[in-house]
Amino acid sequence: MSTSYDVIIIGTGAGGGTLARHLAPSGKRILLLERGDWLTREPQNWSTSDVFIDNRYISDDTWYDADAKAFQPQIHYFVGGATKLYGAALYRLRAEDFGELTHHDGVSPAWPIGYDEMEPYYTLAEQRYQVHGARGEDPTEPHSSAPYPFPALSHEPRIQQLSDDLAAAGYHPFHAPCGVMLNEADMAFGACIRCGTCDGFPCLVHAKSDAEVLGVRPALQQPNVTLMTNARAVRLETDAAGGAVTGVVVEREGETETLASDIVVVSCGAANSAKLLLASANDRHPDGLANGSDQVGRNYMFHNSQAVLALSKEPNPTVFQKTLGVNDFYLKGKDVDYPLGNMQMIGKSAADMFKGEKPLETKLAPGFALRDVASHAVDFWLSTEDLPNPENRVTLAEDGNVRLAYSPSNNTAAKGLFHQLKSMLGHLGMHPDHLFPRHAYLKTTIPIAGVAHQAGTCRFGSDPATSVLDTNCRAHEVDNLYVVDTSFFPSIGAVNPALTAMANALRVGDHLKDRLGVRDTVAVPDVDPVGEDRTRT
């Protein structure tokens, strides 16, 4: 065994990267293990065909479905994890999401902590990730102790028109919370150039609020923080009694080594964290580490999401489309008593993403050439809550890879949300009957949701019989083992999950500081690539 650390964090995404930056000023010896490498800055970052069609940044991992059929998950192994490619829509869960909610297909369970406990950490996460937004526009918005740190992103004219039309029809459109380092007041000083290749693309100019730029890089400014890339944790070893992790077995550059640490934090993403715990079974933990409850890997959720395309009567030349959201149907539909979900915009579809096949024009858009479809497309992302189901689960396949058994929930509500939007189009300057799934038009064969919003495989709770982690996200059965990625979610709500993972990592970070008896010894300066502090003279 080589050097011993105070804290090893496995995985550098929304959970792990955020925690690393939070613990960095403590002076404790912190090691970050990341199975991927730095994501190279290269022109292909912004190439639609490289990213969207050739899947340049998707791992070549093989997973298996319930029938043992192999598939390639849409997963990204880089410093910063999935946030390198994410859309940076940084939403808080609604306060109601922390309680029990009755849905069409069943009950979304209450969390063991309430929204009030999370609120200060949401505020801090919004500051760390430089979120732009406007309070008070969305009636479902939970209370907050501070304004957004940066002003809402302006709508481009077609989206402003959509917002006005929605408001005129009695809805409550709002400026979507967004983590891009854009300085609209003085573009010369902002890092973000407001381009059309953001959602699902890496940011070439490092202006997206991702966990590499705003988590790992600031953490590495401290001499007590070390990062090992291309270092894959394959097993956790425990002491003879099974009560503490004593070693993290890592594969790196063809070698295997075992690293020791007082505290071990797993943050590999929901599926891979479950995989690591299951692969760490030993005499004391025969069904997988910390799995006495048989809950590790269960309740995998990922949102019942649909990317859909409507056709504007006027052209839609919008470049950065993700500035608007609608939550009027989040807690209940118009004519039904159950929640339908969240509507938001998705990155604008571009002409080179289209299949360009003649039969499509006739089938989907009679009277429209596909180039007209591209120039008139308005792209929405509809998300309905996916309810936890113990049979939706990660297990280990024979070759040790992830086996994912999954069937969706709340299809009726998801359809309801789709039809709700369709029924509104006539009031929104769009062709009334034209709303189609985007994948009907686009070349990509991978449904965009894929495994992007995965959560829930190591739920937290107060009862060790029904949860893997306690309310501090510490494993009930292993004293020095924590999990801080989206695995801990007992339910996923219907808004994007990253800000909740970030806020929770900060909450767990404060607990770890207390446990380690440390205070911050240095201040890690907040990154200011937006340049909003500067005043031109």
Ligand X SMILES: Cc1cc2nc3c(=O)[nH]c(=O)nc-3n(C[C@H](O)[C@H](O)[C@H](O)COP(=O)(O)OP(=O)(O)OC[C@H]3O[C@@H](n4cnc5c(N)ncnc54)[C@H](O)[C@@H]3O)c2cc1C
Q: Give the pairing of strands 324-326 and 173-175.
A: antiparallel
Whichever of 199 and 485 has its CB closer to ligand SF4, that residue is: 199
Rounded Cα gap, residues 380 and 436, in angstroms: 10
Pull the structure tokens for residue 106: 């069943």
320 binds, among ligand X, ligand SF4, none (CB under 5 to 8 A by kind): ligand SF4
Amino acid at 143: H
232 binds, among ligand SF4, ligand X, none (CB under 5 to 8 A by kind): ligand X
Judged on CB neighbours under 10 Å (0-12, 13-18, 19+), 168 is exposed
Q: Footprint of ligand X on residues 267-306 (CB under 6 A)?
A: 267-269, 272, 276
Among residues 90, 203, 213, 455, the one that binds ligand SF4 under rule CB under 6 A: 203
Residue 501 contacts ligand X per CB under 6 A: yes
Residue 350 contacts ligand SF4 per CB under 6 A: no
Q: Footprint of ligand X on residues 185-204 (CB under 6 A)?
A: 200
180 binds, among ligand X, ligand SF4, none (CB under 5 to 8 A by kind): ligand SF4
Length of the chain: 537
Residue 86 contacts ligand SF4 per CB under 6 A: no
Residues 246-263 as b/e (b if ≥16 CB within 10 A, e otherwise) read ebbbbeeeeeeeebbbbb
Among residues 53, 195, 364, 446, the one that binds ligand SF4 under rule CB under 6 A: 195
Residue 281 contacts ligand SF4 per CB under 6 A: no
Name the packing angle between helices 498-516 and 14-23 (round to 10°).
Answer: 40
Residue 379 contacts ligand X per CB under 6 A: no
Residue 89 contacts ligand X per CB under 6 A: yes
248 binds, among ligand SF4, ligand X, none (CB under 5 to 8 A by kind): none
Residue 233 contacts ligand X per CB under 6 A: yes
Rounded Cα gap, residues 483 and 265, in angstroms: 5
11 binds, among ligand X, ligand SF4, none (CB under 5 to 8 A by kind): ligand X
Residue 192 contacts ligand SF4 per CB under 6 A: yes
269 and 485 in contact (C-beta within 8 Å)?
yes
**DSSP annotation string for 309-327:** EEEESS----SS-TTEEE-
Q: How far is the CB of 405 from ligand SF4 (least distance, A)?
A: 35
208 binds, among ligand X, ligand SF4, none (CB under 5 to 8 A by kind): ligand SF4
Residue with tokens 């009862």: 463
Rounded Cα gap, residues 503 and 499, in angstroms: 6
**DSSP annotation string for 393-421:** EEEE-TTSSEEEE-----HHHHHHHHHHH
82 and 14 in contact (C-beta within 8 Å)?
yes
Q: For binding to ligand X (CB under 6 A), which residues are involved?
A: 10-16, 33-36, 76-78, 81-83, 85-90, 200, 232-233, 267-269, 272, 276, 452-453, 485-486, 496-499, 501
Q: For binding to ligand SF4 (CB under 6 A), which residues are involved?
A: 180, 192-195, 197-198, 201, 203, 205, 207-208, 320
